[in-house]
Amino acid sequence: MSGPRLTLTAAGEDFDTAGAAAIAETIADAPTATVVVATGRTPMGAYGRLARDLPAGAGSALRVFQLDEYVGVPTDDPRSLAGWTRRSFVDPLAVDPHAVVWLDGLAEDREAACRAYDDAVAAAGGLDLAVLGLGPNGHLGFNEPPSDPSSRTREVALSKASLASNAGYAPGLDVPRSALTAGLDVLLAARRVVLLVSGRGKHEIVRRTLEGPVTADVPASFLQRHANLQVVVDRDAWQG
């Protein structure tokens, strides 16, 4: 591979603009692209910017896949990642929520729910774009360390680092302890990956991700082998 395309920005608006532009590139090429979109703090500004800058309806034919979901949390719960995906990306881009492939964290048979998700990815011909954040421990989605590149969509117990980070998403509410996550296998097979990383707290992990050994202990490090990776990173994360 030729190495990732690295877009280094100032923190704040410049970062959001660059993130939005990276996503808009795929939409311009393929308005019906299949995309998996992360929640978390990092991409929110980029999604807002994208919704403002795209011509009305330009994103509405995207085929969106949820990245991860807590187990046992209804979609109308403030902690639900489906709800967050809907508020931040699906609704602002006017994507039909019925056309989104959701991860069902309420399913009694969660293994079957995961297989249904993978079947939907396969039926769609795989993912054109994965828009991902970087976990404090190098996770992608909730592929917690250690995760092999062949990890399938599955239920995972959340690590201490993730629990601590997630606690900030819904202050005052209990943090769910387990989640369903799209597998590393489908994420790494996406034809294009945009990894968004911001803030000083991500300095060490972004360097380990891009410059350290490729290892299951830093699941995002497998992206070093991806042929079409764009990393949008702000100076706070890049320089520490």
Determine the Cα angle at 24 with ends 22 and 28, to 5°. Answer: 125
Strands 68-70 vs 178-181: parallel, antiparallel or unpaired = antiparallel
Active-site hit among 128, 144, 234, 236:
144
CB closer to ligand PGA out of 94 and 199: 199
Query: Which C-beta is closer to ligand PGA: that of 60 or that of 159?
Result: 159
User: Shortest approach of ligand PGA to residue 25 CB, angstroms?
Assistant: 21
What is the per-residue burial (b if ≥16 Cβ within 10 Å, else e) of 95-121?
A: beeeebbbbbbebeebeebbebbbeeb
Hey, how many other C-beta atoms are within 10 angstroms of the C-beta on 13?
Answer: 11
Under 8 Å between Cβ of 15 and 9: yes
Per CB under 6 A, contacts with ligand PGA among 32-71 are: 40-42
- Interface pick for ligand PGA out of 34, 147, 165, 181 (rule CB under 6 A): 165
Q: How many residues bind ligand PGA (CB under 6 A)?
A: 8
Provide the token pair at 162: 């993730």
Binding mask 126-155 for ligand PGA (x = CB under 6 A): -------xxx---x----------------
The catalytic position among 16, 69, 104, 137 is 137
Active-site choice (16, 104, 128, 139):
139
Rounded distance, CA 236 to CA 240, Å? 5
Please identify every residue annotated as catalytic: 68, 137, 139, 144
* Residues in contact with ligand PGA by the rule CB under 6 A: 40-42, 133-135, 139, 165
